[in-house]
Amino acid sequence: MELRLSLFGIKRSIDLNRFARYRNAAVVLASVLLVIPLTVFLLRPAAVADLAHGNVTGAQALMTGWAKGDLIVLVRHVERCDHSSAPCLFGNDGITERSRRVAMGVGAHFQDLGLDKADIYNSPILRAAQTASFMFNKVGTGEDWLISCKGTMLRDALAHKVAGRNLILVTHSECMAQLTKDLHLPTSTLGYGASLFISAESPHTPRMLGFIEASDWPTVTTR
């Protein structure tokens, strides 16, 4: 198909089929540019769920798993004094004075869940030991695998999990990120005193339930 034009005695013809081919190529290119990011978006790993702020389904899964003794919980130590201008409790590698109340508050929520069938371990680093002391009124000699956890966090956690008993690990942000990575989920740094919950109901296929930040426990609800 041709379009014939005449202007001031000058005649020109335009092949419209050629423009149609360009138009079709542009449509295909635009479609590809839209499909690629959409595919990446749909296939990306799901983010770790926030179990607080009215996430009823997530909170119910937590309560059910806890009652059955199926959970592994990683708890990040509370505020470290060498990264803060706040006064230290004691020890340069320990926690701040003000974060002692945070640890005790989180511990109270775990007490409400029930600690009668829970095994508690802590990293030997002072800030983790102090957190365990104020949070659970218990501190162990320390577990080196809760410091050197690169590539082994999930494996080591499952090795220490006793059937029918929840496992609480007071550790560090790096180990929490490693466990999330081991479960092939996107990693992010949780705040001081945050808790990360994993279901080990089936030890061969552990699954992430989600996290609760230290200040968000009051917003956890099952109804």
pLDDT tens readout for residues 75-97: 999 999 999 999 999 878 899 99
Contact 170, 77 (CB under 8 A): yes
What residue ranges do the domains of the chain occupy?
Answer: 2-43, 56-219
Contacts of 118 (CB under 8 A, 6+ apart): 110, 165, 166, 167, 168
Statement: residue 36 has pLDDT above 60: no
Work out the pLDDT band at 142, boundaries 50, 70, 90: confident
Work out the pLDDT band at 20, boundaries 50, 70, 90: low
Superfamily of domain 56-219 in the CATH hierarchy: Phosphoglycerate mutase-like (3.40.50.1240)
Q: Which residues of 182-209 are buried (b: 16+ CB within 10 A; e: fewer)?
A: bbeeebeebebbbbbbbbbeeeeebebb
**3-state secondary structure (DSSP) of residue 64:** helix
pLDDT tens readout for residues 191-218: 999 999 999 999 899 999 999 999 999 9
Flag whether the pTM goes above 0.75. yes
Largest interatomic CA distance in the chain: 99
**3-state secondary structure (DSSP) of residue 87:** coil
Please report the pLDDT score of residue 4 as a whole number. 62
Tell me the average pLDDT of the chain.
87
